[in-house]
């Protein structure tokens, strides 16, 4: 149908005939369910029910991001303390400072990206600090230390995309542990 000037009405207006050269069904207006023969809702391909969001049928389940592994206590093979002395042990020699630097990208690792920003960064920072402690222990062990005391951390930005975690402490030698006294039995 055309108006008096021979122009077609705009798309979507009554009377507008859309070309359909391949016999495809006409699209329903926005917000309406397309109909297919005798008022039946249009089915998906090969007679399947229409899909419900992202390929799921029926009721959708709420997606929950995976949680990263919770940090656990690491054993480093020697005492590492934030205190200045090992309780119950005498320090016999101070070997000197031990330092380690771990540089990390400030972007979340791929394995932590789905966990959520806060949880992902928490896991990444904890891993960085534990890696820095492990390097301090390696340095102390190479120096012949029995323990690291006064452990501290420092963090700073190197570039816009890199940050550093520094762990430092004092490597010390300890007196042998006292023998436990046993009471003679009578």
The string of pLDDT tens digits covering residues 42-65 is: 555 555 555 555 555 555 566 555
Over 70: is that where the pLDDT of 166 sits? yes
Over 90: is that where the pLDDT of 124 sits? no
Confidence of residue 133 (pLDDT cuts 50, 70, 90): very high
Confidence of residue 171 (pLDDT cuts 50, 70, 90): very high
What is the value of pTM for the model shown?
Answer: 0.57
What does the alpha-carbon distance between residue 98 and residue 135 come to, in Å, rounded to a whole number? 9
Confidence of residue 160 (pLDDT cuts 50, 70, 90): confident
Residue identified by tokens 């391909």 is 45
Q: Where are the domains of the chain?
A: 91-174
pLDDT at residue 118, rounded to an integer: 72
Over 80: is that where the pLDDT of 170 sits? yes
pLDDT at residue 164, rounded to an integer: 92
The string of DSSP letters for the chain reads ---TTSPPPPTTSTTPPPP-TT-PPPPPPTTS--EETTTEEPP-GGGPPPPBTTTB-SSPPPP-PPPPPPP-PPP-SS-B-SSSS-TT--EEEEEEEEEEEEEEESSPPGGGGGG-HHHHHHHHHHHHHHHHHHHHHHHHHHTT-SEEEEEEEEEEESSSSEEEEEEEEEEEEEPPPPPPP-PPP-
Residue 167: closest CA among 122, 123, 134, 145: 134
Confidence of residue 84 (pLDDT cuts 50, 70, 90): very high
Of 13-17, 83-87, 153-157, 176-180, give the lowest mean pLDDT range: 13-17
Over 70: is that where the pLDDT of 183 sits? yes
Q: Which CATH number fits domain 91-174: 3.30.110.70, 3.90.70.10, 3.10.580.10, 3.40.50.300?
A: 3.30.110.70
pLDDT at residue 143, rounded to an integer: 96
Q: Which residue has the higher pLDDT, 89 or 13?
A: 89
Over 60: is that where the pLDDT of 13 sits? no
Residue 123: closest CA among 71, 66, 64: 71
Mean pLDDT for all residues in the chain: 76
Over 80: is that where the pLDDT of 169 sits? yes
């Amino acid at each position: 149908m055309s108006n008096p000037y021979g122009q077609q009405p705009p798309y979507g207006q009554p009377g507008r005939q859309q070309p359909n050269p391949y016999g495809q069904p006409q699209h329903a207006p926005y917000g309406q369910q397309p109909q297919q023969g005798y008022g039946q809702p249009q089915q998906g391909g090969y007679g399947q029910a229409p899909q419900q969001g992202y390929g799921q049928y029926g009721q959708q389940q709420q997606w929950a991001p995976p949680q990263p592994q919770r940090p656990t206590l690491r054993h480093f093979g020697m005492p590492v303390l934030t205190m200045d002395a090992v309780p119950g042990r005498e320090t016999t020699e101070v070997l000197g400072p031990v330092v380690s630097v771990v540089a990390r990208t400030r972007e979340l690792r791929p394995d932590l990206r789905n966990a959520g920003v806060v949880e992902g960064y928490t896991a990444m920072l904890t891993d960085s600090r534990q890696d820095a402690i492990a390097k301090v222990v390696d340095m102390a062990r190479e120096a012949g230390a029995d323990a690291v005391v006064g452990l501290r951390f420092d963090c700073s930005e190197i570039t816009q995309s890199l940050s550093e975690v520094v762990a430092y402490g004092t490597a010390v030698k300890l007196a042998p542990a006292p023998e436990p006294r046993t009471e003679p039995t009578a």
